[in-house]
Amino acid sequence: MKYKRIVCKVGTSSLTNEDGSLSRAKVRVITQQLAMLHEAGHEVILVSSGAIAAGFSSLGFKKRPTKIADKQASAAVGQGLLLEEYTTNLLLKKIVSAQILLTQDDFADKRRYKNAHQAISVLLNRGAIPIINENDTVSVAELKVGDNDTLSAQVASMVQADLLILLTDVDGLYTANPVNHPDAKRLDLVEEITTDLLEMTGGAGSSNGTGGMLTKLKAATIATMAGVPVYICSSLKEQALIEAAENQGNGTFFTASAKNMKTQKQWLAFYAASQGSIWVDRGASTALSEQGKSLLVSGISKMSGHFSYDDIVTVYEKDTERILGKGRVRFGQSALQDMLKANKPKGVVIHRDHWISLTPELELLLSEF
């Protein structure tokens, strides 16, 4: 079996009727495929949108709401209804499902990140299918573009999945929006996600969902850098998940990066919140970016923010203001200020094991989230 552990992401547009309400028939199609993958021996994790779609009509809304508070209330009602649909259908196949609601904070906090990983691991080991969604009721920012696309990539990297499948309403990544450009061509294979590719892809997704193709490409960047290949395909095919798991069907396949980013580096790059900034001289910049060395106290030119021991900071080159990366500091800001007053300041501020250099692709990616 090539793909033992599979994360499947299903967007709102793949679960709804034309009026934006939840389609029970579409949910059944998804759960049937999940059950088939499970019975074939795959470990399956579902990242599902659809809570707002499942709940808004129960609150008297005639169509999907646009105000944040209305979305939050609809999600609060719909989350249980959506899970009930999945649970009922999976129980017919004698498969247990489990609900996990996450926010970006759960990834930013290392303790919560570890706890989430452990809970998912236990569920998979016990033969259950975790069903994961953003905690939309409290996550205001996550209700914007790209919510569950990003989440699915983060989950895939967290659990070290063998494949991430992104189900959407188009059959892959095109050179342009196929709706507006009939001559657009689908890219069947993407071996490297470049800044040109990131900048080429844009435009809004379908009216019911919030994740356009750009957010899916960024999700693919996160996953592939963590060593997880990604397949984008259309949910309109009833066996889309099965075909993707068997390397069949029509879609866009993204190969995993040859240089897998370790879990600690993933956390630094994508999740850890920066508490301050450090600017370094040209020599320190070269040592960090090109020579794989640690940052020494002597290389620091200036600092800003209020950071303490063990906090994460962003590092810039002083002359160019170019962002170099992020790292965990061994000294707080006040201690570093005292050390810099010495004639020959010594000490390692950021060890290379706790440092991540930002490539142009990573910098563009992080600037959008």
The binding site for ATP consists of: 9, 168-169, 210-216
Binding-site residue numbers for substrate are 49, 136, 148
How far apart, in Å, are the Cα atoms of 26 and each of 17, 100, 238, 245? 9, 21, 9, 19
Q: Which two tokens stand for residue 246?
A: 């068997």
Annotated binding-site residue numbers: 9, 49, 136, 148, 168-169, 210-216
CA distance 283 to 355: 17
Q: Compute the distance between CA of residue 219 and CA of residue 337 in angstroms, rounded to an integer.
A: 39
CB burial of residue 254 (10 Å; 0-12, 13-18, 19+): buried
β-pairing, 163-168 vs 5-10, is: parallel
Residue 188 Cα to chain centre, angstroms: 22
253, 188 Cβ separation under 8 angstroms:
yes
CA dihedral 247, 178, 256, 233 (to 10 degrees): -40
Residues 6+ apart with CB under 8 A from 367: none
At 76, is the secondary structure helix, strand, or coil?
helix
Judged on CB neighbours under 10 Å (0-12, 13-18, 19+), 289 is middle
Quote the CA–CA distance of 154 and 164 in Å, as a whole number: 10
